[in-house]
């Protein structure tokens, strides 16, 4: 149960902030019906022939492209999901001039659907796809409706613009994220186990005093000395 004083504190911090940054992960979208990786009903607890971390790796994509796409269509391509209260509040705070950027590990595009403009997608997006041979963009709806390995008219294999395990992160996006976090007056971290690096290391660039973590469970990283709100982020944000 989230206490009234925690909500009041968070409301005050956001109200005073002019360049707050939100750093989030898969837990931000579970209330929109998209499973995360590590919760009880997350993708790691479900039975697949291979563990999700292996399926979502660069080597697996190259070696087992059809099996990658079976899993990807089934579990990652959540095109109909809608933003929840967390996405919507963040978009409002940006509009009101309190929030400078959302830095997300998510690939679902729900922050943009909610109206956020400055979203730094550390791990890319399911909404962008490209031919590996000629570079031509490929519509996501065609991936969803199709079967097997999606191919460009030129014959090349289409790859989603998501960062698979074993692939480097976009340096420009990382640099921007570091800059926003370094300059932030408030850092809110939510819905992430802080297990996936280098993304999780970004919060160490925060120089301010006001960092608040909102999570359903304890994150992997040592967060001693940090204000911690245990709860569902959509529920918490709808009270702030
Ligand atoms: P994770 O699965 O490792 O951790 C999710 C965390 O969120 C857990 O600590 C869990 O307790 C917490 N959580 C779940 N629901 C919550 C809620 N409603 N409110 C508050 N906390 C909640 O996810 P991660 O840390 O983001 O790392 C996994 C990787 O998987 C990331 O790279 C991410 O891009 C990717 N991923 C993305 C999506 C998506 O785009 N929606 C979905 C699954 C995985």
Q: Which of 31, 33, 36 to mutate to test the pocket of ligand 1 (most atoms within 8 A of CB)?
A: 36
Instruction: Count how many Cα atoms sit within 13 Å of the Cα of residue 168 in the half-sphere of its side chain.
Output: 5
Could you identify the residue written with the tokens 């993708």? 43
Cα(134) to ligand 1 centroid in Å equals 33
pLDDT single digits (tens) 5-62: 999 999 999 999 999 999 999 999 999 999 988 776 677 767 678 888 899 999 999 9
| % of the chain beyond a pLDDT of 70 | 98
Torsion from C-alpha of 237, 189, 230, 191, nearest 10 degrees = 80
The reply, when asked if residue 134 is annotated as ligand binding, is yes
A 10 A CB-CB count for 118 gives 14
Q: Specify whether 98 is catalytic.
A: no
Cβ atoms of 36 and 43 within 8 Å: the answer is yes
Ligand 1 touching residue 125 (CB < 6 A) = no
- Residues forming a β-bridge with 131: 158
The per-residue pLDDT for 40 is 65
The catalytic residue among 87, 98, 111, 123 is 123
The reply, when asked if residue 154 is annotated as ligand binding, is yes
Cβ atoms of 199 and 165 within 8 Å: the answer is no
Strand, coil or helix: what is 123?
A: coil
């Amino acid at each position: 149960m989230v206490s009234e004083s925690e909500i009041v504190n968070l409301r005050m911090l956001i109200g005073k902030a002019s360049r707050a940054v939100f750093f989030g992960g898969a837990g931000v979208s579970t209330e929109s019906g998209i499973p995360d990786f590590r919760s009880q009903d997350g993708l790691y607890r479900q039975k697949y022939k291979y563990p999700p971390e292996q399926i979502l790796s660069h080597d697996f994509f190259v070696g087992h492209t059809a099996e990658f796409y079976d899993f990807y269509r089934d579990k990652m391509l959540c095109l109909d999901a809608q933003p929840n209260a967390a996405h919507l509040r963040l978009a409002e705070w940006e509009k009101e001039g309190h929030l400078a950027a959302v830095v997300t590990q998510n690939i679902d595009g729900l922050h943009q659907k909610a109206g956020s403009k400055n979203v730094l997608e550390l791990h890319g997006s399911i909404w962008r796809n490209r031919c590996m041979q000629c570079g031509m963009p490929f519509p996501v709806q065609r991936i969803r409706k199709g079967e097997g390995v999606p191919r460009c008219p030129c014959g090349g294999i289409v790859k989603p613009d998501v960062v698979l395990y074993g692939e480097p992160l976009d340096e420009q996006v990382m640099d921007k994220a570091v800059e926003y976090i370094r300059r932030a007056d408030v850092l809110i971290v939510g819905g992430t186990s802080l297990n996936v690096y280098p993304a999780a290391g970004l919060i160490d660039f925060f120089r301010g005093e006001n960092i608040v973590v909102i999570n359903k469970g304890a994150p992997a990283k040592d967060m001693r000395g940090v204000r911690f709100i245990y709860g569902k982020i959509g529920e918490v944000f709808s009270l702030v």
